[in-house]
Amino acid sequence: TILLPHFYTLLTEAMGWRWAMRINAAASCLFLAAAAPFFRVQQEAKTEVDSCIKESDAKPKRCVVLNLRFLCWWLNMFVCFFGYLVPPTLLAEFARKELKLSANLAALSYSLFGVTALITRLLLGCITHAFGGPRRLFFVSQFLVGAFACVLPFCWNAESLLVWSAVYGCGIGPIIALVSVVLSDLFGTKDLAMYHGCSRT
């Protein structure tokens, strides 16, 4: 959020956007290839007992789609992630056209909510404990982000926009960081990967 945009800007200005995309893709492939051995799943040797398990003993997995609790969670995620990206996407245009601010102030508003989101994540353990658990903090963060998304059009100058950016960043930090924690709390850790993947679909 803070460093990468400046790096991409410098890389694009130096080599053009085509080579910037190629370098970015090559770096991503290199890191994925280097990390691949760590994600190997060790297969256990099959025993005679495993081969003799009857079909009646095998428990069918619950379908995620039929889980009403997960459907409510998925709808929550859909609305949340559909909406929380809108203010950052339109922030620069709003600052330049509506508030008549300079490009530097518009960039500062972006950087500010990135910094406050990072600080919130660093202090996430203490903040979660103060709120009484990850679910409560997640709900409060979603409510804060939704409320401040509605407040954005009422910012009238640079100072109010910077305050908005700082508070918005504080709300965004826990939402992104606590998804896996809340899913684990709701559905357990055994099928966490499946629930996490379906919630982002």
Note the pLDDT tens digit of each residue in 4-53: 667 767 877 888 767 876 777 677 667 666 655 655 545 555 544 444 44
- What pLDDT does residue 188 have? 78
Angle between helix axes 103-122 and 86-93 (nearest 10 degrees) is 150
154 near 187, Cβ under 8 Å?
no
DSSP string, 173-190: HHHHHTHHHHHHHHH-ST
10-residue averages of pLDDT along the chain (201 residues): 66 77 71 60 50 44 68 78 70 81 83 87 89 86 82 85 89 84 81 74 62
State residue 31's pLDDT score: 63
Q: Report in angstroms the alpha-carbon separations of 100 from 16, 67, 95, 157, 165.
A: 30, 49, 6, 9, 17
Between CA 127 and CA 20 the distance in angstroms is 38
**DSSP state, 3?**
S
Give the pLDDT confidence score for residue 200 in this predicted structure.
67
CA angle 171, 125, 142 (to 5 degrees): 25
pLDDT the model gives residue 58: 45
* CA-based end-to-end distance of the chain: 23
Based on its alpha-carbon atoms, the radius of gyration of the chain, rounded to whole angstroms, reads 22
Token reading at 81: 């992630």
Give the ranges where 2-133 is alpha helix by DSSP (H).
Answer: 4-35, 48-51, 68-84, 86-93, 103-122, 124-131
CB 200 within 8 A of CB 77: yes
For 96-136, the three-class secondary structure string (H helix, E strand, C coil) is HHHCCCCHHHHHHHHHHHHHHHHHHHHCHHHHHHHHCCHHH
